[in-house]
Structure 1
């Protein structure tokens, strides 16, 4: 009788031990957190940071304006190309220019230069802009401001590196007039519901001369000179360069390229 009881107790203990053992998770392995697909596409970087990578769409390579049209009527862009540089035209009616193609989400590289002999103060000192999405004629869209902010006082949400009238830049890394400045931008376009209401807002991350000045800033809507920003439904849009018209000498651009992002 004593032996039977001992065997029964042993059997019960064995069952409980096996049951508890079955409930214990297996020891983690390094393979559990290793992912092999999808494999990222190979992109060959440019020879320099300003040179376009292999998957970029070159918008201006110093040769012509084949990728650009007039914002006003979509006719060929009339700005000046000389010595590998694109310069705002002084010709009456030349106006803003924008890309022939439309974009949604992208990475943009663009270099710009304020003339050495710039005059004026405040907003009338090398004023221009990169419209990250051009949603109509004139100045409709979402503007990243260009201005001589090296030694020029103005409202801080309108200085170089600002999302115009919305976001103050995190720093002022401007170089002197006559020196080349660089914007590297990540643009996340807004999305909309079928009825035109906003689904997700736009975001902009901007590096200005290698310095972060906009850190995934959530835009409140399109640029407005007067009044509050608001969103209007669109899907894709061109990138626009502004001919502001109130600077003494025209602003110049070079090395413009874009990478489309999903």
Structure 2
């Protein structure tokens, strides 16, 4: 009887511990059945059912529908795409496909860019290649106006026209009660096509062409829309 009592106590204890263990926050998806989850959208952003980008020419086409958001910038409509969702710490995943020689990016909090770029075949990637954390920019600097930026650890890009996948774990900047920044924003991990291309990279401020020059606790996701054709699908996120 003594053994059984102890056993029951252990079961009760560990059962209680499991119930009290922290649970991972739920994951959410951004519906692409409409553009309702985004702020006002310029005409370069469209919904599609399928996208076809040629890997060897500028022949691109799409089928209207749902499930994919597509950027086809034509001046003067070259606006960026902003989510209504505002985030701090976040784990983000999405698929993207880019046209040949095209260029885009995803900005965490609308401020800190991970580059989307046709980097197929690049042997030594730079900060502006796909998966790079883009550099900062300061017109007031005397010598080098562009600074910081982090190249991906290796080129994990697929050919233009092929669907690719990002997973980004981002830690937002921290502030004290007076609004003074106490910790920089940080890319905890960036994974491109199942290859870890960044770990624990600090960003001291908004990167070049950010939508906002300040830093805050919360901000939207922004997909860059002014450089060339790109399509996005399967946007999922977990707020941490």
- In the aligned structure 2, how far is the partner of 1:42 from the partner of 1:167? 30
- Greater strand share, structure number: 2
- In the aligned structure 1, how far is the partner of 2:223 from the partner of 2:24? 31
- In the aligned structure 2, how far is the partner of 1:233 from the partner of 1:150? 33
How large is the Cα RMSD of the aligned pairs?
Answer: 2.6
| TM-score, scaled relative to structure 1 | 0.66
Deviates more, 1:78-87 or 1:192-201: 192-201
SS state at 2:94 partner: strand
8 Å Cα contact 1:81/1:87 also seen in 2:
yes
1:67 and 2:43 aligned: no
Q: Which runs of 5+ in 1 are unaligned?
A: 1-33, 44-54, 70-74, 119-124, 135-140, 226-230
Per-residue displacement from partner, 1:228-253 (whole Å, max 9, x unpaired)? xxx833120000000133x3xx1111
Number of residue pairs matched by the alignment: 192
Per-residue displacement from partner, 1:166-216 (whole Å, max 9, x unpaired)? 111111111111101110010100012344432011111100001000112
1:224 and 2:203 aligned: no
8 Å Cα contact 1:197/1:233 also seen in 2:
no
- Whichever of the two has the greater Rg, that structure is 1
8 Å Cα contact 2:91/2:170 also seen in 1:
yes
**Aligned CA distance change for structure 1 residues 77 and 63 (closer, same or farther; 3 Å):** farther
Q: Which runs of 5+ in 2 are unaligned?
A: 1-13, 50-66, 136-148
**Aligned CA distance change for structure 1 residues 257 and 77 (closer, same or farther; 3 Å):** farther
1:130 and 2:103 aligned: no
| TM-score, scaled relative to structure 2 | 0.71
